[in-house]
Amino acid sequence: MEKFSKWRDSGTGIQPFLQPVPARTQQSAAASVFGVIKTYAVGPVASVVRLVALAAIAALDVVTSALGALLVVPKVRRGYSRLTRSALARLALFIMGFHTIDRKTVSLRKGRRSTTTTHRVESGDVIVTNHTSYIDILWLVARYNPVFVELDNASTRVRPVSMWTALRAPARATPALLPASEAQDLGSLLRDARVKHLGPVVVFPENATTNGRALLQLLPVFEDMANLDEKARVYVMALKYPAQAFSPVYSLGNQFVHLFGVCMQVYNSLVVRMLDPEECPRMKDAPALCDEDKEPVDVDDAVADRLMQLSRLRMTKLTAMDKRDFLTFYHKRAKGYRPTI
């Protein structure tokens, strides 16, 4: 759309904020009839049934989380949370149509094959990934039950947030700055997560959701020495949602309406690609922590390079603050729904 051309990246020509629209293709008469039935008859009924089931899962999660808070031993509490919350998140994904997840460990080195081998991600490690939907949160909870954080766009300090806040975050504009009283260094959070067995910490360095067509500029999360922890491992991951009809990608709009559309689909697809841990950058190689006899590595540049290769997406010059400005412009011209800015 011409009125949104200001937010089209000049280098790539990609508009990374508008909600993706299915490509128009010629269909057979039978396929067209099936599409009409699914859209106006079966789909809405199935969506209502699924939403009721999701509401029941949400209520059960609240109850099990309250019971888990009574456990005082960190390891026991962590195990209980993995057993309950992770299982409920996977059940929610299944109900939403994500019956199977295409997950592989990928090597970027020539001659090495992709595998389905799983790697033990420990409490206090860092998972760095792109962000295109609230469904990212559900899968990460189902697989790792991690700690989610919001990033300060100026200082790159972080604020831990709950799963429910992380699920709602894509529907809101990214905060420009975090309250100083609530922000902390990533390094201290990683050490705290490791000692208290809180799980790995998920960082979305773009600090905003996109439509999955390109990456935003990544915040220099690992530039500040206070954000580093030499004992923490960095894992790089890419998430994609292949779709021929309604896309699970969520960049803007009414989140409930989008969820209703997701639940109308017969099935949905999620592709997860994790970089081989041996090829992930290491914090202890950063200039601030690197041994004198070794060549330092710019961890932020290394993460950006790996993420682009892993996701097969180009990086734009746009930032999370551009997404914030875009949402302000978009909703000034939209009628009805207004997100929290």
- Give tens-digit pLDDT for 262-282: 999 989 999 999 999 999 999
Report pTM. Answer: 0.91
pLDDT in tens, 219-258: 999 999 999 999 999 999 999 999 988 999 999 989 999 9
The amino acid occupying position 74 is: P
Q: Which parts of the chain are beta strand (E)?
A: 102-106, 126-129, 147-151, 158-161, 201-203, 234-240, 271-275
Closest CA to 224 of 280, 283, 164: 283
Distance in angstroms (rounded) separating the CA atoms of residues 14 and 259: 25
Distance in angstroms (rounded) separating the CA atoms of residues 252 and 308: 23
Asked if residue 51 lies in contact with residue 260, where contact means CB atoms within 8 angstroms, the answer is yes
Asked if residue 94 lies in contact with residue 265, where contact means CB atoms within 8 angstroms, the answer is no
Question: With left for phi above 0 and alpha for psi between -120 and 50, is residue 243 left, alpha or beta?
Answer: beta
Question: How much is the pLDDT for 338?
Answer: 52
Q: What is the mean pLDDT of residues 178-207?
A: 95
Q: State the residue for tokens 């208290």.
A: 196
Angle between helices 43-68 and 74-95 (to 10 degrees): 180
- Could you tell me the pLDDT band of residue 43, with boundaries at 50, 70 and 90? confident
Question: How much is the pLDDT for 131?
Answer: 97
DSSP state of 153: T
pLDDT in tens, 290-311: 877 788 899 999 999 999 999 9
Closest CA to 142 of 105, 92, 70: 92
Distance in angstroms (rounded) separating the CA atoms of residues 75 and 271: 31
For residues 327 and 92, which has the higher predicted lDDT (pLDDT)? 92
Closest CA to 4 of 337, 334, 329, 338: 329
Question: For 111, what's the count of Cα atoms within 13 Å in the CB-facing half-sphere?
Answer: 0
Q: Is the pLDDT of residue 324 over 80?
A: yes
Distance in angstroms (rounded) separating the CA atoms of residues 274 and 107: 9
Virtual CA dihedral for 140, 146, 150, 156, nearest 10 degrees? Answer: -110
- Could you tell me the pLDDT band of residue 341, with boundaries at 50, 70 and 90? very low
Least confident residue range of 23-27, 41-45, 141-145, 218-222: 23-27
Question: How much is the pLDDT for 212?
Answer: 94
